[in-house]
Every structure is written in structure tokens, then in C-alpha cells.
Amino acid sequence: MQTSHRTSRPTPRTLLRAGVVLLLGLGLGLAGASSSQAGAKPSITKEPFGSVGGKAVDRYTLTNGKFRVRILTYGGIIQTVETPDRHGKLANVTLGFKNLDGYVTSKNPAYFGALIGRYGNRIAKGKFTLDGTTYQLAINNDPNSLHGGNVGFDKRVWSATPVTGGGAVGLRLTYVSPNGEENYPGTLRTTVTYTITGDRGIRIDYHATTDKATVVNLTNHAYWNLGGEGTGTIDDHKLQLKASRYTPVDATLIPTGKLDPVAGTPMDFRKPTAIGARNRSAFQQIVYGRGYDHNWVLDRRGSGLAVAARVSDPASGRTLTIRTTEPGIQFYGGNFLDGTLYGTGGNSYRQGDGLALETQHFPDSPNHANFPTTVLRPGQVLRSTTIYQFGTD
Ligand code: BGC
């Protein structure tokens, strides 16, 4: 089992992962600067985006060639991602809201685009024991704790610093979660750097340290619709997952602890398969999730970046390839979207109008000794990287 993303080396705050060629950290206060040649040179601009609880929120727009991403300091939310189809036509392919109020008033129950912490996914009955102490988290997804509790990282205002270098633009977000916040132990210092690459990639580097043993599982909860948000379901999208096993769940979507083979079941995405082909199946796991809402165990060797998933939309030709250092990926088919949320373009989001692919450690790991550990101790550094690469077929 892989635990190597938690290293006990000293704690350099700069990003020095093997294989990283981008020199981030050269940011020199580009906030407010804008390129007059958007589309030619990478650029980053900043604008006020309202406030929450008396804290100002900014929106950053990162542009590199024909690729534009908007990120909010509220929740580290990826608000929009504009990328071309096979004819060069741009569309926003991620689900979200038009303005800050959309996120704050609704409490963003679907976690559109948000950074998730401290613990992405579910912890059974919100309870875990670490070094002999039992911690009780908020039960916000009855009977379990989901995505960090009542006020997770998705609802915090992060400090932001633009970073440039190596032909890329990025935004470094930092949030210090005090000891005991949402009942998790330890002061957790988290830095998440979004980097927009010239070849239509979003790279996310996660970095975290603690002053007391704790559990952490960081991810991003963006939903994708490669035809454009608000244009209908993702049933025709083809999905490929590099996974021969998955973690089956009980009726409350908590893993049983087994790693089951996908072979011969609707969970088998080893070959590209239309999502709508099997998401209405009577297979017990699909029934429990009202469709797909499961963690796949990635087939991988070592702890480096490896392809986890590929999504393609035959109609627009847009593709998304996801690489990660994480051991698992949650494929959630937007099953609980019920038409009550109105998105960036004004349309309501209905069941299956977007899919989330959350790179992660397995759900409820603190209660399963056979899963890769999510424990982070003082002196260790959590490092994790995921890349969303857009393209066309
Ligand atoms: C979970 C879903 C949940 C959704 C909330 C996903 O990560 O797996 O069960 O409904 O987040 O938007």
C-alpha cells in the first residue's frame, strides 16, 4: 500500500517534487497585473468578487493560449474552465455559479469546483481513533461525516499569491486550519498551487504539515461536462479508469473494507465506456449510489504521477486526461443534482449534468488499517499532485 506521499524529510515550502520542471515561487506580486495580449502570453488578473463574513474574496483569471481558468479565493473554487472543442470553439466545461452569492447562499451543497479538506469523502459515523484518542466529527451526511464537516476548506477564504515561471501562470493558496477546527486534531497548514500550463492543463500541487498527529485527505471537487456546463447530461461521455479494483460500499456509501475486482461488473471502465450505458443498472453498488459514486483503486506502481482517468465527449471532441500521485479516484456521476441549483450560464443542473473525478486516498481510511494511510504527523509533509489535461480528439 502506498504511503509515500507523506514524507518525513524536512519541510521545504517550495515545490520541489521530482520531475517538476516549472519553477513556481517566482511570483512577484502580479496581482492586478493583466496582459494586453491574453492568448499570446500567460497572464493572471485579479478582481474583487464580494465578501463573506466580512472577508474580501477575489477572483483570479489565469489565461494561457486558448485556455482560461477562473479561481476564487473562497474555497479555492475553480469557477470556470474555458477550453476549445475540435473546431476551436470555446465553452466553459465546469459546473459552478455566476457570483459569490450563488456559492454562499446555497452553501454549495454539491461542492462545485471546491478544494476539499480536511478529509475529502466520508468518515463512518464521523468517528476515528488516532493514538488512543477518539475524535467525533460533524455528521453532515447522515449518518457520516463528508468532505471535512460543516465548514470545510470549501467554505474558507484562502490567502492567494500569484506565481509565474517556466511559461506557466499559477496561484498559490494557503489556509491555516487551527487545532480542533471541525474537531480535527492539529494545526494544519495547507498550500494548494494551481498552475495553468500552455498545453491546456491545470496542475494542482497540494502541500500540508501539522503540529499534532491528524488525518488528511485533500482533493478538488470540480464537475466536468465537456459539452459545456448547462448543456445536458454526461451520459454520452466516455470514461476510462485505470483501475482493476474498487472499494465496494454499504448503503451509506462507506467502504466495506474490501477491494473488489471490477471485471464482469458495471464498475469496469478499463476500456472507454459511455457513462449512460450502465448507470441505471440494478447492480447493488449502483443502486446504493443512485449511479456511480465510488472509489476506484488505481493500478499503479510507485508514487509518481500516473494516468488515472480519461474522459471524452464524442460530440464536441473535447477530452480530459487526469494524472495523479494519489492511490484512488472517486467517480461521482452528479447523481444528487436535482434541478434546484442554477449554474453559471443560468440553466438548472439536473441529475447527471456533470461528473466529478476526485483524486484521493480511499474513503474512511482512518477506520480501515488495510487502506493506504491518511495519517499525517509532525515533521512529515503531505505532497500530492493532480493534473487535469484538456485536449481534443
Ligand atoms: C460524494 C457524493 C456527494 C457529493 C456531494 C461526492 O464526492 O461522493 O456522494 O453527494 O460529493 O456533492
Asked if pLDDT for residue 302 goes beyond 90, the answer is no
Per-residue confidence (pLDDT) for residue 211, from 0 to 100? 98
CA–centroid distance, residue 55 to ligand 1 (Å): 27
For 39-43, 103-107, 132-136, 301-305, which range has the lowest pLDDT when averaged over its residues?
39-43
3-class DSSP state for residue 167?
A: coil
Per-residue confidence (pLDDT) for residue 165, from 0 to 100? 83
Task: Tell me, yes or no, if 358 is annotated catalytic.
Answer: yes
If pLDDT is split at 50, 70 and 90, which confidence band does 41 have? confident
The protein residue whose alpha carbon is closest to atom 7 in ligand 1 is 121
Place of cell 463574513: 53
Return the DSSP state at 178.
Answer: P
If pLDDT is split at 50, 70 and 90, which confidence band does 11 have? very low
CATH T-level topology, domain 6-233+300-392: Beta-galactosidase; Chain A, domain 5 (2.70.98)
Asked if pLDDT for residue 39 goes beyond 60, the answer is no
The protein residue whose alpha carbon is closest to atom 11 in ligand 1 is 110
Per-residue confidence (pLDDT) for residue 40, from 0 to 100? 61
Ligand 1 site residues, Cβ closer than 6 angstroms: 110-111, 253, 293, 330, 332, 336, 356, 358
Distance of CA 205 to the CA centre of its chain: 11
Nearest to 331 by CA among 261, 258, 269: 269
Asked if pLDDT for residue 289 goes beyond 90, the answer is yes
Asked if pLDDT for residue 28 goes beyond 60, the answer is no
State the average pLDDT over residues 257-276: 98
- 343-360 burial, b at 16+ Cβ within 10 Å, e below that, comes to bbeeeebeebbbbbbbbb
Per-residue confidence (pLDDT) for residue 6, from 0 to 100? 74
* Better pLDDT: 181 or 13: 181
Is the separation of the CB atoms in 185 and 135 below 8 Å?
A: yes
Can you tell me the distance from the alpha carbon of 168 to that of 20, in angstroms, rounded to the nearest whole number?
12
Q: Which amino acid is at 68?
A: R
Can you tell me the distance from the alpha carbon of 215 to that of 297, in angstroms, rounded to the nearest whole number?
20
If pLDDT is split at 50, 70 and 90, which confidence band does 329 have? very high
Task: Tell me, yes or no, if 237 is annotated catalytic.
Answer: no
Asked if pLDDT for residue 12 goes beyond 70, the answer is no
Mean predicted lDDT score pLDDT of the chain? 91
If pLDDT is split at 50, 70 and 90, which confidence band does 68 have? very high
Per-residue confidence (pLDDT) for residue 341, from 0 to 100? 98
Per-residue confidence (pLDDT) for residue 269, from 0 to 100? 98
What global pTM score does this model have? 0.91
Question: Using CA of residue 342, residue 345, residue 349, residue 354, what is the dihedral sign?
Answer: negative
In the set 5, 147, 221, 361, the catalytic residue is 221
Asked if pLDDT for residue 2 goes beyond 90, the answer is no
State the average pLDDT over residues 150-174: 95
The protein residue whose alpha carbon is closest to atom 9 in ligand 1 is 293
